[in-house]
Amino acid sequence: MKKILVTGGCGYIGSHTIADLTENGFDVISVDNNSRSTTHLLEGIEKITGKKVKNYKVDLCDFDDTNAVFEENPDIVGVIHFAAYKAVGESVEKPLLYFENNLVSLINLLKCVASFKVPYFVFSSSCTVYGNPDSIPVTEETPTKQAESPYGYTKQMGEQIITEFAKASGVRSVLLRYFNPAGAHPSALMGEMPLDKPQNLVPVITQSAIGKLPGITVFGDRYPTRDGSCVRDFIHVCDLAHAHTLALQYMIDGKLSGITDIFNLGTGSGITVLEAIRTFEAATGIPANYKIGSNRPGDVIAIYANNDKARRELGWEPKFTLEEIMKTAWAWEQKLQNDEKLFTGKNIRLN
Ligand code: WQD
């Protein structure tokens, strides 16, 4: 079996991707320093796939520790890099934390990829690289604009670093631009696990519904959109995970034209924040408690994907609806609460 290293494997998208890779015949190891995750999701992977996943608790900002993982696993054929901080609002408040963590970790990883001659690299990028696009939906050819947040800058710089690295090293690389990942594994054995107050809309909705949060603040409803709230493209985490497996296989099968390529991973439909809240209510029957607040610095007004290229080149087909995103997210939130009770109140979200 081909061995794949997944960084951030204990995180939300990383864990779902490990499950998908494993179910598609890959042998996967994880590198995750658990600064913003626990190993709880690896237990979920084991229950789903029957396979135990080894996690190296390593900070990628430490080159020697990162290099040691590759020395112990010289048979790695591909790396999928998720490990990064990703909260738009937090990055505006703490820019140096984001530049240091997200860029130093990437550069250390690429040094190891080159020295251990790993042939394939997949990068977790983001639609934030488009900034506030002039026209939507965005294609991969839509020019990237000034990012709206330091988080967005780290993704733009990450793409540039990898593109130049790939040209110089010959390491084939794919940049996957996610839109808004949301939802949870249908088994309710994995899902989004923010360790402290969630930043993203869907976990805020589910934590408000279960009573962990007092309610939802909608960050602005006077934007130039159909109902005044921001527009996003919510993509189910399982659809997103499967795209990584397809992208890796695409490179292994020698289908990558050139040395790097870019793919948008979104559903292709734009949903407003208020529509997302209403979809949660309709999908679960639970009324959402929300109020309108001020705009959040760093927010893009409206963005959603043209995903034709991923459909055509990767054979990728997003399957989950927004209703299923909300239903699976809610089932996971309820499971988490039960697990926390089972652990006699121990908060499983802490290390
Ligand atoms: C979505 C919308 C908020 C919380 C995310 C990830 C980023 C990247 C892109 C993958 C915005 C509004 C939110 C709340 C709200 N994904 N909102 N009240 O900022 O689009 O970026 O997707 O790489 O990593 O962070 O996602 O869920 O924070 O916000 O009104 O309590 O919901 O203003 O319009 P965002 P988000």
Report, as an integer, the average pLDDT of 37-55: 93
**H/E element, 27:** strand 27-31
134 and 32 inside one domain? yes
255 and 176 within one domain:
yes
- 49 & 134 share domain: yes
170 with 261, same domain? yes
- Distances, alpha carbon 176 to alpha carbons 52, 90, 169, 264, in Å: 27, 22, 20, 6
Reported as a single tens digit per residue, the pLDDT across 236-287 is 999 999 999 999 999 999 999 999 999 999 999 999 999 999 999 999 999 9
Residue 219 lies in a domain: yes
Residue 110 Cα to ligand 1 midpoint, Å, equals 28
> Which residue has 């734009």 as its token pair?
270
Q: Per this entry, what is the length of the chain?
A: 351
Do 65 and 159 belong to one domain? yes
Find the helix or strand (DSSP H, E) in which 77 lies. strand 76-81
Residues 254 and 156 in one domain: yes
Rounded distance, CA 318 to CA 237, Å? 10
Q: Compute the distance from residue 85 Cα to the ligand 1 centre, in Å.
A: 14
What is the identity of the amino acid at 285?
Answer: G
Residues 164 and 141 in one domain: yes
192 occurs within a structural domain:
no
| CA–CA distance, 185 with 82 (Å, rounded to integer) | 18
Task: Tell me which residue of 95, 73, 51, 90 sits closest to 7, measured CA to CA.
Answer: 73
For residue 96, the domain's CATH number is 3.40.50.720
Closest atom of ligand 1 to CA, residue 199: 28
Same domain for 276 and 211: yes
Distance from Cα 201 to the centre of ligand 1, integer Å? 6
pLDDT digits (tens, 9 = 90+) for 57-92: 999 999 999 999 999 999 999 999 999 998 888 898
282 domain-assigned: yes
Asked if 176 and 218 sit in the same domain, the reply is no
- Closest residue to atom 32 of ligand 1, CA basis: 201
- Indicate whether 195 belongs to any domain: no
Give the pair of three-digit tokens for residue 21.
């890779």
DSSP state of 302: B
31 CA to centre of own chain: 15
Query: Where are the extended beta strands (E) located within 190-316?
Result: 216-219, 231-232, 234-236, 260-265, 271-272, 290-293
Ligand 1 atom index nearest CA of 87? 25
List b or e across 246-267, with b for residues whose CB sees 16 or more CB atoms inside 10 angstroms. bbbbbbbeeebeeebbbbbbbb
| Number of domains observed in the structure of the chain | 2
Tell me if 129 is assigned to some domain. yes
Range of the domain at 296: 201-231+268-306+320-343
Residues with a catalytic annotation lie at 151
Give, using CA atoms, the residue closest to atom 1 of ligand 1: 201
C-beta of residue 211 within 8 angstroms of C-beta of residue 288? no
Whether the predicted pLDDT of 351 surpasses 60: no
Read off the pLDDT band of 220 (50, 70, 90): very high
- Is residue 123 located within the same domain as residue 221? no
Q: Are residues 242 and 295 in the same domain?
A: no
Ligand 1 atom 4, closest CA = 201
CATH number at residue 276: 3.90.25.10
Q: What are the CB-based long-range contacts (under 8 Å, 24+) for 143-147?
A: none
Q: In the structure, what pLDDT confidence band is assigned to residue 349 with cuts at 50, 70 and 90?
A: low
In a domain, 314, yes or no: no
Tens digit of each residue's pLDDT (9 = 90 or more) over 126-177: 998 998 899 999 999 999 998 888 999 999 999 999 999 999 999 999 999 9
* Residue ID of nearest Cα to ligand 1 atom 28: 200
- Name the CA radius of gyration of the chain, rounded: 19
Percent of the chain predicted with pLDDT > 90: 86
* pTM for this model (two decimals): 0.95
To test the pocket of ligand 1, the residue of 180, 204, 217 to mutate (highest count of ligand atoms within 8 Å of its CB) is 180
Q: Which residue from 13, 125, 128 has its CB within 8 A of the most atoms of ligand 1, so it is best to mutate?
A: 128
Q: Could you tell me if residue 193 is inside a domain?
A: no
Residue 348 lies inside a defined structural domain of this protein: no
- Residue identified by tokens 């007004």 is 301
> Which segment of 117-121, 144-148, 329-333 scores lowest on mean pLDDT?
144-148
My answer on whether 298 and 166 are in the same domain is no
Pocket of ligand 1 (CB under 6 A): 86-88, 126-128, 178, 180-181, 199-201, 204, 216-219, 230, 232, 273, 296, 299
